[in-house]
């Protein structure tokens, strides 16, 4: 049974605080094993990667078999039923259209001192996308990572996906094709991350690595960070639904379950201003759990981490939501835009009862890689910005240096950085020469 | 003596590769000590912070003395000479004006399927700025971190600066005042980072921590990452100057020394298309090193990590520069804008011979916190974006759900996520009901 809380309860603050800070995941400590794998790949390249692949994925590879060939991709992709191909194509197009709008502008201007200032955006040269194998091998995740990279202008896009026992998901290959991935390698785990970060004889190194993975992949990404850029390390998924009583309890129940079914550590929370409605949703969840395919996972998540919170009004709901800073926030209320105005921290907001969160997972257009574990307080979902970097620009004229240079000399003096001051003063001296 | 390389040398590629990958810093392994400090601060709060401050900073504090009072700040600030106050004020104003232009736009549109999509930017609630104590206590760094936070709209801005033996730098306090810091605490090290990340009885926790620091501070930032956001972990400073022969060798020499004087691990590289000019610059460096206050540091940096690279032409210079991906890049050439077009990776570009890099350290307007150690390949300098996060928005109408919902149901089926599909299908069923 999920927790039931009400802001009118005497012990509400204590219980809500416990809900906020509850630990949902015991990450296994694989850091030492991962360090050894990375060192091995750095030292021995392809030989290490193929040995590790034989050990972990039960797949005997030679270096020339690491890369999935165009023919193999075509063959796999041809097996995808038309309905799935069409759906994935629509998703890719919509994600591309959304992310294209995110491209930031360059800027350049001359200010009143005569200094020309600005900045310029550029794409990383090469990006590597990690895709988990087996059951968690989601074609939608390929689109969500690869499409923004391509939109940003990344020139070389690499994908690593393990093929346990040799098996690859044709839909994952189709997603790679639709989003313009250049190279696909059938390797996974920390060895794939190491190969992309440091390069091997077969795989040229990349500059940025993104994508989800298990504890080994997460630890490897943390370790190669600095050598390459990485995206966030995502925790288990979460949804917060704020719903008034004018909703079908069953709709809200399946929305809650759509996160709960991801993972036993996922968390689904309902905040409502109607306690009776809250009970009705909980009953609808129980009813759906009787037949849901992933009922073992979803049921455990709902039982251990689910919560139904009754509030006095929707303003209170917004306040609690901002303390939770949810990854996904559904506003199933009559005036969702008005309520959204009060939300300061959330990865993604789904407005109104016709916008189930699952739309955002697949087809809406916004990215489904979003900040978890309250990190929406300080971070954002994946976007084209993750594949771009900014170079700032400054150009002084003799006149502008004369105007602002002396202040730089003064500040360099304050910081006892003489050469800093001299580099400006040497030029000012020339200007002041008769 | 620095290294001299020429692209016409037979062993150029080997030596250039060695230059690219040379290790300049042996970071001491303080991770265990830092883990213990963080655990102590989490467990005992103020008591741990004050004990650690007594031990590391030789400063006996009670919790009510941790915060620097308004009166203390006023008193210190009153002692700052007018020239320094004016210079710092000009710097703050120019940095504010530059960063104000970085504020990104919100977006909202309705697409051809009838879905309303968009995003909204918001500031982190509270940011913490770490400022080193002692000699590396730079007022310019306070401005470069605090001003963007304020411009972004951060509501609460906290600063921690250690006061070894009780001493604080009045200019640092003035910089804090000019940039609108709300709370200043005289604590430092890993204990200050832990206090800001987890909070104590006296210091409320923040959501994002930025600012430079020693190995302890860097390790602490890495450890609290996830609980709060952090900025980059910066390595030793670097400058690359691309200069043709039409420059005063002495100007280029002091520009190279302005990075070398930061740190024995700093790196200054000159690329020129004129070998004679390269020798002249090296001679000018030697001449300046005879009298430079920080000649021990600058001399060691130039000797161990400095390099003069002769190229055939400036196109070759741009290619090498992109492999280096320098933190600071000076283009002291006749047509700097044309050369800048060829640059794909650099933290900041300084255009033309009237723009010494030190202008960017203090007064130009762009941020001086920039990606080091080749990370300009995938990351950017500090900006207002570091204090903002984006929430994506989606709103479906019944009609738009009817248009794109079925594709989501199909993809949920492909990924065996039944509840995802049900959350869309339940709504489609209502629409399809006669």
Whether residue B96 is predicted with pLDDT greater than 90 in this model: the reply is yes
Which residues of A form the catalytic set?
327-328
In terms of pLDDT, which residue wins out, B23 or A230? Answer: A230
Size (chain B), residues? 434
- Optimal mutation site among A363, A376, A379, A384, interface B, most CBs of chain B within 10 A: A363
Predicted pLDDT at A28: 77
Q: Is the model's pLDDT at A26 over the cut of 80?
A: no
Taking residues A363-369, what's their average pLDDT?
97
**Tokens describing residue A417:** 């950085």
Residues 262-281 of A with CB under 8 A from B: 262
Contact B236, B266 (CB under 8 A): yes
The rounded radius of gyration (Å) of the Cα atoms in chain A is 26
- Calculate mean pLDDT across residues A307-330: 98
Tell me the three state secondary structure of residue A82: helix
Cβ of A371 under 8 Å from any chain B Cβ? yes
The token pair at A220 is: 């490897």
B354/A90 CB distance under 8 A:
no
Domains with residue ranges and CATH for chain A = 3-25+236-364 (3.40.50.1980), 31-105+121-230 (3.40.50.1980), 396-432 (1.20.5.1300)
- Tens digits of per-residue pLDDT, B247-256? 999 999 999 9
**Mean pLDDT along residues A412-434:** 95
Give A208's Cβ-side CA count (13 Å radius): 30
Decide: B372 and B238 in contact? Cβ < 8 Å: yes
Confidence band, pLDDT 50/70/90 cuts, at residue A23: confident
A280 by DSSP, 3-state: which? helix
User: Per this entry, what is the length of chain A?
Assistant: 434
Partner-chain residue, chosen from B88, B353, B365, that has the shortest CB–CB distance to A411: B88
Q: Which residue of A has its CA nearest to B419?
A: A258
How far from each other are the two terminal CA atoms of chain B, in whole angstroms? 86
Using 50, 70 and 90 to split pLDDT, how confident is the model at A134? confident
**B313: closest CA of chain A, how far (Å):** 22
Q: Pairing relation of β-strands A307-310 and A3-6?
A: parallel
Contact A226 B116 (CB under 8 A): no
Cα A314 to Cα B206: distance, rounded to the nearest angstrom: 26
Q: How far apart are the C-alpha atoms of A213 and A192, rounded to whole Å? A: 11
Both tokens assigned to A344: 């300061």
Decide if A220 contacts A34 (C-beta within 8 A). yes
User: Two tokens at A14?
Assistant: 């204590």
| 8 A C-beta contact, residue B280 and residue B249 | yes
* Residue in B218, B222, B227 with CA at minimum distance from that of residue B197: B227
Distance CA B71, CA B66 (A): 14
Position A235 scores a pLDDT of 86
pLDDT band of residue B390 (cuts 50, 70, 90) is very high
> Which positions of B are catalytic?
327-328
Backbone angles phi, psi at A94, to 5 degrees: -70, -40
Nearest CA to B63 out of B40, B48, B51, B46 is that of B46
Helix (H, G, I), strand (E, B) or coil at A19: helix
**Structure confidence at residue A434 (pLDDT):** 76
Is a pLDDT exceeding 80 seen at residue A49?
A: yes
- Residues A262, A242: contact at Cβ < 8 Å? no
Best of A393, A403, A409, A425 to mutate (most B CBs within 10 Å, chain B): A393
Q: What are the tens digits of pLDDT across the range A182-217? A: 999 999 999 999 999 999 999 999 999 999 999 999
At B187-230, the pLDDT tens digits run 999 999 999 999 999 999 999 999 999 999 999 998 999 899 99
Whether the pLDDT of residue A27 is over 90: the answer is: no
> What's chain B look like in SS3?
CCEEEECCCCCHHHHHHHHHHCCCCCCCCCHHHHHHHHHHHHHHCHHHHHHHHHHHHCCCCCHHHCECCHHHHHHHHHCCCHHHHHHHHHHHHHHHHHHHCCCCCCEEEECCCCCEEEEEEEECCEEEEECCCHHHCCHHHHHHHHHHHHHHCCCEEEEECCCHHHCCCHHHHHHHHHHCCCEEECCCHHHHHHHHHHCCCCCCCCCEEECCCCHHHHHHHHHHECCEEECCCCCCCEEEEEECCCCCHHHHHHHHHHHHCCCCCCEEEEEECCHHHHHHHHHHHHHHHCCCCCHHHHHHHHHHHCEEEECCCHHHHHHHHHHHCCCEEEEECCCHHHHHCCCCCCCEEEECCCCCHHHHHHCCCCCCCCCCCCHHHCCCCCCHHHHEEEEEEEECCHHHHHHHHHHHHHHHHHCCCHHHHHHHHHHHHHHHCC
B82: nearest CA in chain A?
A410
Instruction: Report ipTM for this prediction.
Output: 0.96
A283 touches chain B (CB under 8 A): no
pLDDT at residue A218 in the model: 92
Q: pLDDT-based confidence at A331, cuts 50/70/90?
A: very high
Kindly give the interhelix angle for B170-179 and B70-78, rounded to the nearest 10 degrees.
110
Question: Is residue A191 marked as binding?
Answer: yes
Spatial CA neighbour of B346 closest among B311, B317, B385, B310: B317
- Residue whose entry in the numeric block shows the structure tokens 């990344």: A154
What average pLDDT does chain B have? Answer: 96
Question: For chain A, what is the mean pLDDT?
Answer: 96
Predicted local confidence at residue B234, as pLDDT? 83
B151-179 CB burial, b ≥16 within 10 A, e <16: bbebebbbbbbbbbeeebbbbbbbbbbbb
The pLDDT value given to residue B1: 87
B207 contacts A407? CB cut-off 8 A = no
Residues of B in contact with A157 (CB under 8 A): none
B356 touches A at CB < 8 Å = yes
Q: What angle do CA A122, B383, B327 make, to 5 degrees?
A: 60
Average pLDDT over residues B329-339: 98
pLDDT at A8: 97
Residue B286 pLDDT grade (very low, low, confident, very high; cuts 50, 70, 90): very high
Rounded distance, CA B391 to CA A432, Å?
Answer: 53
Query: Which A residues 332-351 touch B at CB under 8 Å?
Result: 336-337, 340, 343-351
Percent of chain A, pLDDT > 90? 94
In this predicted model, what pLDDT tens digit does every residue of B347-389 receive, in sequence order? 999 999 999 999 999 999 999 999 999 999 999 999 999 999 9
> What is the spatial distance between Cα B224 and Cα B205, in angstroms, rounded to a whole number?
12
Confidence of residue B133 (pLDDT cuts 50, 70, 90): confident
Q: Which residues of B touch A417 (CB under 8 A)?
A: 258, 261-262, 294, 358
Task: State mean pLDDT over B134-150.
Answer: 92
* A361/B114 Cα distance (integer angstroms): 18
Average pLDDT of the residues in A36-41: 98
**Looking at the predicted structure, is the pLDDT value of residue A372 above 90?**
yes
Judge whether B140 and B176 are in contact, CB under 8 Å: no
Mean pLDDT in residue range B154-167: 96
Confidence check: pLDDT of A287 > 80: yes
Least confident of A42-46, A130-134, B13-17: A130-134
At B28 the pLDDT is: 77
CB contact under 8 A, B207 and A261: no
Please report the number of interchain residue pairs, chain A to chain B, with beta-carbon separation below 8 angstroms.
Answer: 372
Q: Quickly state the pLDDT bin for A262 (edges 50, 70, 90).
A: very high
Residues B394, A355: C-beta atoms closer than 8 Å: yes
In which band, very low, low, confident or very high, does the pLDDT at A353 lie, cut at 50, 70 and 90?
very high
Contacts of B60 (CB under 8 A, 6+ apart): B50, B54
Q: What average pLDDT does range B333-347 have in this prediction?
A: 98
Q: What is the mean pLDDT of residues A263-274?
A: 96
Contact B408 A298 (CB under 8 A): no
B411 and A378 within 8 Å at the Cβ level: the answer is: no
């Amino acid at each position: 049974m999920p927790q039931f809380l009400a802001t009118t309860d005497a012990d509400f603050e204590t219980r809500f605080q416990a809900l906020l800070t509850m630990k949902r995941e015991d990450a296994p400590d694989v850091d030492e094993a991962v360090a050894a794998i990375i060192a091995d790949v750095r030292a021995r390249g392809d030989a290490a990667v193929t040995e590790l692949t034989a050990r972990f994925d039960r797949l005997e590879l030679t270096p020339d078999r690491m890369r999935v060939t165009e023919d193999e991709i075509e063959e796999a992709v041809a097996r995808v039923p038309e309905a799935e191909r069409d759906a994935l194509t629509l998703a890719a197009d919509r994600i591309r259209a959304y992310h294209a709008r995110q491209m930031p502008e360059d800027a350049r201007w001359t200010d009143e001192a005569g200094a020309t200032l600005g900045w310029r955006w550029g794409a990383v040269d090469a990006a590597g996308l990690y895709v988990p194998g087996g059951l968690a091998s989601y074609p939608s995740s390929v689109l969500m990572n690869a499409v923004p990279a391509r939109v940003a202008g990344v020139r070389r896009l690499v994908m690593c996906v393990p093929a346990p026992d040799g098996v690859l998901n044709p839909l994952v290959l189709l997603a790679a094709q639709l989003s313009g991935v250049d190279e696909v390698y059938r390797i996974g785990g920390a060895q794939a991350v190491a190969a992309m970060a440091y390069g091997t004889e077969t795989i040229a190194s990349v500059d940025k690595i993104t994508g989800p993975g298990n504890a080994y992949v997460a630890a490897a990404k943390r370790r190669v960070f600095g050598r390459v850029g990485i995206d966030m390390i995502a925790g288990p998924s979460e949804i917060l639904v704020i719903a008034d009583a004018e909703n079908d309890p069953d709709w809200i129940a399946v929305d809650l379950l759509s996160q709960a079914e991801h993972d036993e550590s996922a968390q689904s929370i309902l905040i409502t201003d109607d306690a009776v409605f809250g009970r009705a949703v909980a009953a609808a969840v129980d009813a759906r759990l009787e037949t849901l395919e992933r009922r073992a996972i979803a049921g455990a998540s709902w039982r251990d981490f689910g919560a139904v919170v009754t509030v006095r009004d929707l303003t209170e709901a917004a306040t609690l939501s901002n303390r939770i800073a949810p990854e996904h926030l559904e506003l199933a209320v009559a005036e969702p835009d008005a309520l959204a105005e009060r939300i300061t921290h959330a990865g993604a907001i789904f407005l109104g009862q016709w916008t189930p969160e699952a739309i955002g997972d697949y087809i809406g257009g916004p990215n489904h890689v979003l900040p978890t574990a309250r990190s929406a307080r300080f971070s954002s979902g994946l976007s084209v910005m993750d594949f771009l970097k900014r170079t700032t620009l400054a150009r002084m004229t003799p006149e502008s240096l004369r105007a602002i240079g002396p202040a730089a000399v003064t500040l360099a003096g304050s910081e006892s950085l003489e050469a800093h001051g001299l580099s400006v003063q040497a030029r000012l001296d020339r200007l002041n020469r008769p």
